[in-house]
Structure 1
Amino acid sequence: MAEAHEAVAFQFTVGAEGVSVNLSYDVFKALIYSGCRSWKRRCRRTLKSLHNTIYPGHPLRGIAWCGLIYTLYIKDHDPSYHIIDWIDKHIFRRYFSKQNSQMLACVVFGTGTYFILIQIRQSILKLLFSYHGWMYQEHGKPMGLGQKVWGGLVKLFIGRNPSLYSYQSVLPQLPLPSLDDTLRRYLRTVRPLYSDAEYHQMEILADEFRRTIGRKLQRFLWLKWLISSNYVSDWWEKFVYLRGRSAIMVNSNFYGLDAAYIRPTTVQSARAANIVRATMQYRVRLDHEDIAPLMVQNMIPLCSSQYERQYNTVRVPGKEADIIVHHSDSQHVAVYHKGRWFKIYVFYQGQLLEPSELQMQFDEILRDPVEPAYGEEHLAALTAGERPLWAEAREKYFSTGINRASLEGIEKAAFVLILDEEEFAIGTLSADSSFMSNKQQSENFDKYAHASLHGKGYDRWFDKSFNFIISKDAVAGINVEHSWADAPVSGHMVEYVLKEDIAHLGYDDIGNTRGVPRFTPPKPVKLKWAISEDCNELIERSLAQAKKIFSDVDLHVYIQDIYGKGFMKKCKLSPDAYIQMALQLAHYRDSGRFNLTYEASMTRLFRDGRTETVRSCSIESSEWVKAMEDPSVSKAERIRLLRRACDYHQEQYRDAMTGKGIDRHLFCLYVLSKYFNMESPFLQRVLHEPWKLSTSQTAASYDEKHLKRLMAENPDLVKKYGISEKRNLAPCGGGFGPVASDGYGVSYVIASETLIFFHVSSNRSSPETDSKRFGEHICQAMKDMRDLFETEA
């Protein structure tokens, strides 16, 4: 049974004694289970698709509606005004008896009218979701009459118990901003960056663009908007991600870290087993669409389309452009350990393996003394180097034979698991520790972040949708390929996995998984390779490219535990705007000037929405920063300017979320200019401006309500791990590489009321940047901002 998956189902040989037939019943059983599972999956998806098509209606309500129509009809109360009679007479009467034909006519009429009512309801919902005035409501002030009516209508029409994709058909399209508005807002955002002469030149370029090719490009873009579900997303995926020919390691992929406060075990195989089990449970929930769509204010759904490619997905290299390949199902996970590649089956006889059964498989891999095959240890470096080199190697050496079969074992896996040989040794943060102790911890976090972002360049399969990394001391990390989705989608999964791992699956007293194996699970399958010297030469070339990239990465995790969002709320300021202003102050002190700043904002209020740019460096923020550096400005004036800057930032963020952003519109106009070979000095200037500061907030959903529910469901967690409002399951966030060669990449997560993680990246080769220095500037900026409000707060 253990070797069933390596056996051949049917063999026959012809010899002197006749024909010898050999059947492997275990494989036949596995094929039957797999086939049944596949058919169940198809049927379930078909039914879910039907349900989503008519949501917020329901098939049972449709049946009840048809029954009502038939009852009224036979009681001589024709609700169709003789339409049923016409259907009965002209379609069914010639084939069925009178009673049956009348019933069928009632069903046809009832089904048609029910679909019409559903279409009306969906149209009303789409119209209601297109209204975004609620976002601009000032916090703390009561809603006006119009907004109350709108909110009541949303609650009336929205429906109950939605599945993950129920609202996709009723989400509005991303609106196309007017050209004049975009140009006006763009010029306002660059005013602090330029001298008077430079700004005047930019005004001239913008006006020339408006008067010449701008209007024509806008009309073509309007046509694309008219026929597309989202006029940005397909081009954004194609040109920003898939057409890029440089390495995706560091330049595109991003990483995430483990929970800040809790280390549930130090047994590597046990942690890997629970992580894999929880991750596959999440995939099962995705397949069943049992995950409720994320809702803003419990009323407005966010687009869920990015979840579709989370598992069984790989980015395949091409010479000119990559493609994303998504497989409908996968029953195994690819595992890397000490230079060897394995695949383990996570389903057996149609059942998802329990953690104790998975741990047996991982223990076997850890004990396996087999050395890697020639070229196998550094094989994954092909995914870390430049894309044309990987495309060449894949076509030449991995398109046939044993290499192709083994490559499919990785690329068709649900995801990749890395059993790392390193110990991250980050321990746990104390909610009550001093700043110095956590500052010392940040040095270990730096190594941990480096390992999660790029590893050694050959021990992560960077093309896979995500790699879970389990260190030798059982600390978890994740590396995510960016083209298929944005960080909040994988963040949602990571939070679910950590909660399941720690709060529900758990560990025994010595750190192993709970439970007793039901049977001996299938053995891990060692992937086999036949790598030639020429192929290995390409592998080593790619590894050299990868080493050059990751050796240049300067990555620092600054742990801000002096205060957190609790203090910011007392100051009546948005935590995100507050932190963005701190970054503006820190960056000005670091570089001595104002620079173009990118903050990622989502556009998932619209169908197929991804991201938009918030330009955090503004006239208001620059005035406040100058006031902070001018000792003659009073504290009251600094506070006034800070509130003004935060308010404007919030307005920009809301504009970006509601489809009134700047950069995606200009990006699409630039793409069209290239299609039609129309050169624009203005667009060239805009699209090639370097983002010296690129920022992003990682959302954490473990708020007070979630924590109280978790502690009520699992009272032993409070005793075992000390989980509380201060010590929660929120991850340490994650980060990404710098966007500009002489700039910074900053990701931050508000982990609790008193704790914020800043992940700062830059390039060592740049004399203008230093990640630790920038972390110190952030620290000082946060202290200076706290001092402004010390007496008030």
Structure 2
Amino acid sequence: MYALNKCPHKNLCIKSIAQRSYASKSKTIRDVNYQYLQRSKVPTMHFQKSLPRLPIPVLNKSTERYLKALQPLLTDDQFSAATSRTNNFINNEGKALQEKLVAKDKANKHTSYISDYWFDIYLRDRKPLPINYNPLIVFQNDTRPEYNNQLIRSTNLLISAVRFMESLKAQILEPEVFHMNPKKSNTPLFRTVTGLLPEAVSWYGAYLFKAFPLDMSQFPGLFGATRIPLETKDKIFRATDSRHVLVQRRGNFYAFDVLDADGNILAPTEMLANLNKIMNDNAPAAEHPLGVLTCQNRNEWARQRAHLEQTGNKEVLSKIDSAIFNLVLDEEIIGDSKHALLKSYLHGDGLNRWFDKSFSLIITGDGVSGINFEHSWGDGVAVLRFFEDIYAETTKKPFVHPDTKPASSNISVTKLDFKLDDKSKQFVDKAKKEYKEWYESLSIDYILYEGLTKGACKKYKVSPDCVMQLGFQAAYHLLHGKFVGTYESCSTSAFKHGRTETMRPCTEKTKAFCEALHLNKTSRGELSAMMQECSKYHSELVKDAAMGQGFDRHMFALMKIAEEFNLPRPELFDSYEYNYLNKSILSTSTLSSPSVMGGGFGPVATEGFGIGYSAFPDKLGAAVTSYKSHNNSTEFVQALHQSFEDITKIIST
């Protein structure tokens, strides 16, 4: 899944600017400052050329880490067999595969060794996108209730999103940088010095400030992009000159231009007018809402889409594909229901969605807002940066207010009409039935535990992330009495075209802690010491993963090299232990930001749990998903609550 470990962003909002527009005979002239959310002195891609390349780990180091990850999951006999098989791999085909991988990497210095393989694995998977792949992130509500009105909030989010896009296109969006000591490096001096340096050495200048620029190559994938279903392997379509957004309401599709003929962003009152027209459209809910077709197996959807194109819908599908992004207006009222929130943003009923778009900005009837995003094009770092920036502006410097009146000009809304034959209508009816059966098979629950906070963990000198991972391990052990393959996503965006690496939080140390915790024979002092050891090792694993020194991506690349060169598939990759480890029963990803109300994703394995979690300043939170036929998320949440209580007692001593 996606990784969201990153530095906080400050000072993201420019001063409030005039929103006036001036009409001339030839064209509309607007305040240039309105066109951009940020005007960075350092060009957006300034550090990209000098970013370090993702390292290929030493083969022996990767296999050593691999065996350590296996040890808590296997019996002694199984581990002995795994060790023998791994050593055989190192001494035989492993060496040749490593040499070929290194040679290929040297010949492709413009990218990382994992990038193409990672795109390929996403685009070849035939499973449906919702639940399996598309994650959700939900904004905190605006603290001013009147700004949570659906029309007001959707307009402000739309304006800020387009301003973000225009800043990115103009290369004046602030580059993404991780500051080790923000007080010393997140300064005008840093920007002046690094901005003056040539692109080829700019990263090294930032490094002298103990600041680390992050890869920005995924950011253009946010806009004008759609994943197109094709049989065997999908493709990502990108339009670089789009002027329109897609809007969905009641299963109907609309489009309107947010940029005028001169490339200027429409005035706030004009944006408001276009959305107001859509919201006042009395058209009934679509009888055959085509969005539900994006909820299916990719091969089936590819065949259906081909039929739609052949029956006169090619132009309207192109309009959807090329839209800057998808704005979804739901009629559902979320209120305070976290269950309703998670279900709506994770999957909904599919009738008012188009899961293939790079992202969908979803606003409910009561103004709850969030994002569901397609995962193949990029990871959480790019999405969260966009998320945080537009949240900051819409809550601090919104352009539309409750008393703002819609304009009467530049209203270009068109309703997109499909030509549906009986066969196409049958596609929709079948997809609605099957998707409903599928999402109703999900078990979803959440926990907000106020007995522990991020600050309390740090005060006790244990990693908050480790505490939460210990909670997951202890909860699963409490329910099932064993330990399973656990996946924690970690970003490698400190490197050129880095994606993610897997951190394996189930270790011999966490296993010993959980067993001691549940035996009730170990003193709190001993448990405390064990927890400190868990935290220390956990932090080392996180650091290794972030620095490209995990083992999962490396071993995956070696397997792909064997396929690419038509070499015999090594026994190791079909072994019991390799498959057991890579069956992510606990798939986890952290999501911590003041702008985030919640986030999550579906289970990766049918028998597993999907856990999106956050360590907030005042509580610990997690959204848990699973399939009812194998697990009960409420039971897991109850066990997790018990585990957090047990850990709290240890920390409180």
The bucket for the TM-score relative to the shorter chain is: 0.7 to 0.9
- Give the structure with the higher percent helix: 1
Distance 1:373 1:601, change over 3 A: closer
Query: What corresponds to 2:8 in structure 1?
Result: none
Query: What corresponds to 1:434 in structure 2?
Result: none
Query: What corresponds to 1:762 in structure 2?
Result: 626
Q: 1:582-593 counterparts in 2 under 5 A?
A: 582-593=471-482
**Alpha-carbon separation, structure 2, partners of 1:748 and 1:506:** 32
Query: What corresponds to 1:253 in structure 2?
Result: 134
Is residue 2:612 matched to residue 1:747? yes
Q: Aligned AA for 1:394? A: R
Q: Which moved more, 1:517-526 or 1:623-632?
A: 517-526
Secondary structure in structure 2 of the residue aligned to 1:417: strand
Query: What corresponds to 1:145 in structure 2?
Result: none
Secondary structure in structure 2 of the residue aligned to 1:348: coil
Query: What corresponds to 1:393 in structure 2?
Result: 304
Deviation at 1:622, TM superposition (A): 0.8
**Alpha-carbon separation, structure 2, partners of 1:543 and 1:569:** 48
Of 642, 645, 653 in structure 2, the residue corresponding to residue 783 of structure 1 is 645
Contact 1:386 / 1:542 at 8 angstroms: preserved in 2? Answer: no
Contact 2:141 / 2:368 at 8 angstroms: preserved in 1? Answer: no
Query: What corresponds to 2:459 in structure 1?
Result: 570
Q: Aligned AA for 2:490? A: S
Q: Aligned AA for 1:582? A: G
Q: Which moved more, 1:642-651 or 1:671-680?
A: 671-680
- CA deviation string 1:138-189 (max 9, x = no partner): xxxxxxxxxxxxxxxxxxxxxx943221111111111111211111111111
Of 327, 332, 352 in structure 1, the residue corresponding to residue 239 of structure 2 is 327
- CA deviation string 1:754-783 (max 9, x = no partner): 1332111111111xx211121122222222
**Alpha-carbon separation, structure 2, partners of 1:582 and 1:619:** 15
Query: What corresponds to 2:278 in structure 1?
Result: 365
**Alpha-carbon separation, structure 1, partners of 2:569 and 2:358:** 36
Deviation at 1:191, TM superposition (A): 0.6
Contact 2:442 / 2:628 at 8 angstroms: preserved in 1? Answer: yes
Secondary structure in structure 1 of the residue aligned to 2:646: helix
Contact 1:597 / 1:694 at 8 angstroms: preserved in 2? Answer: yes
**Alpha-carbon separation, structure 1, partners of 2:57 and 2:527:** 34
Contact 1:586 / 1:781 at 8 angstroms: preserved in 2? Answer: yes
Query: What corresponds to 1:713 in structure 2?
Result: none
Deviation at 1:261, TM superposition (A): 7.2
Is residue 2:484 matched to residue 1:595? yes
Of 154, 163, 167 in structure 1, the residue corresponding to residue 43 of structure 2 is 163
Query: What corresponds to 1:230 in structure 2?
Result: 112
**Alpha-carbon separation, structure 2, partners of 1:519 and 1:492:** 34
Of 288, 307, 310 in structure 1, the residue corresponding to residue 170 of structure 2 is 288
Query: What corresponds to 1:313 in structure 2?
Result: 225
Query: What corresponds to 1:341 in structure 2?
Result: 253
Q: Aligned AA for 1:681? A: E
Q: Aligned AA for 1:361? A: N
Query: What corresponds to 1:115 in structure 2?
Result: none
Secondary structure in structure 1 of the residue aligned to 2:397: helix
Deviation at 1:627, TM superposition (A): 1.6
Is residue 2:327 matched to residue 1:422? no
Secondary structure in structure 2 of the residue aligned to 1:694: strand
Of 570, 574, 593 in structure 2, the residue corresponding to residue 680 of structure 1 is 570
**Alpha-carbon separation, structure 2, partners of 1:312 and 1:360:** 23
**Alpha-carbon separation, structure 2, partners of 1:289 and 1:778:** 45
Query: What corresponds to 2:3 in structure 1?
Result: none
Q: Aligned AA for 2:158? A: V
**Alpha-carbon separation, structure 2, partners of 1:394 and 1:784:** 53
Q: 1:197-596 counterparts in 2 under 5 A?
A: 197-228=77-108, 229-239=111-121, 241-259=122-140, 262=143, 264-265=145-146, 266-296=148-178, 297=180, 298=185, 299-348=211-260, 350=262, 351-371=264-284, 375=288, 377=289, 379-399=290-310, 401=312, 403-426=313-336, 444-505=337-398, 508=401, 512=402, 515-517=404-406, 519-596=408-485
Deviation at 1:196, TM superposition (A): 0.6
Secondary structure in structure 1 of the residue aligned to 2:327: strand
Secondary structure in structure 1 of the residue aligned to 2:44: coil
Q: Aligned AA for 1:381? A: V
**Alpha-carbon separation, structure 2, partners of 1:223 and 1:541:** 49
Query: What corresponds to 1:9 in structure 2?
Result: none
Contact 1:270 / 1:355 at 8 angstroms: preserved in 2? Answer: no
**Alpha-carbon separation, structure 2, partners of 1:275 and 1:683:** 46
Contact 2:139 / 2:370 at 8 angstroms: preserved in 1? Answer: yes
Distance 1:618 1:373, change over 3 A: closer
TM-score (norm 1): 0.71
**Alpha-carbon separation, structure 2, partners of 1:773 and 1:373:** 38
Contact 1:294 / 1:301 at 8 angstroms: preserved in 2? Answer: yes
- CA deviation string 1:99-128 (max 9, x = no partner): xxxxxxxxxxxxxxxxxxxxxxxxxxxxxx
Contact 2:273 / 2:408 at 8 angstroms: preserved in 1? Answer: no
Q: Aligned AA for 1:447? A: A
- CA deviation string 1:416-443 (max 9, x = no partner): 11110211112xxxxxxxxxxxxxxxxx
**Alpha-carbon separation, structure 2, partners of 1:181 and 1:33:** 63
Distance 1:261 1:418, change over 3 A: closer
Indicate the structure (1 or 2) with the bigger Cα radius of gyration: 1
Alignment coverage as a number of residue pairs: 586
Q: Aligned AA for 2:112? A: N
Distance 1:772 1:530, change over 3 A: same
Contact 2:587 / 2:609 at 8 angstroms: preserved in 1? Answer: yes
Q: Aligned AA for 1:756? A: L
Deviation at 1:33, TM superposition (A): 7.1
- CA deviation string 1:537-561 (max 9, x = no partner): 2233333332232122212121122
Identity %: 29
**Alpha-carbon separation, structure 1, partners of 2:43 and 2:592:** 22
Secondary structure in structure 1 of the residue aligned to 2:349: coil
**Alpha-carbon separation, structure 2, partners of 1:733 and 1:355:** 29
Distance 1:260 1:776, change over 3 A: farther
- CA deviation string 1:12-40 (max 9, x = no partner): xxxxxxxxxxxxxxxxx99x979x99xx9
Unaligned runs of 5+ in 2: 1-22, 186-210
Contact 1:601 / 1:611 at 8 angstroms: preserved in 2? Answer: yes
Contact 1:465 / 1:480 at 8 angstroms: preserved in 2? Answer: yes
**Alpha-carbon separation, structure 1, partners of 2:473 and 2:501:** 19
**Alpha-carbon separation, structure 1, partners of 2:383 and 2:471:** 27
Deviation at 1:347, TM superposition (A): 2.3
Q: Aligned AA for 1:581? A: L
Distance 1:464 1:395, change over 3 A: same
**Alpha-carbon separation, structure 2, partners of 1:279 and 1:206:** 49
Contact 1:373 / 1:528 at 8 angstroms: preserved in 2? Answer: no
Secondary structure in structure 2 of the residue aligned to 1:276: helix
TM-score (norm 2): 0.86
Deviation at 1:656, TM superposition (A): 0.8
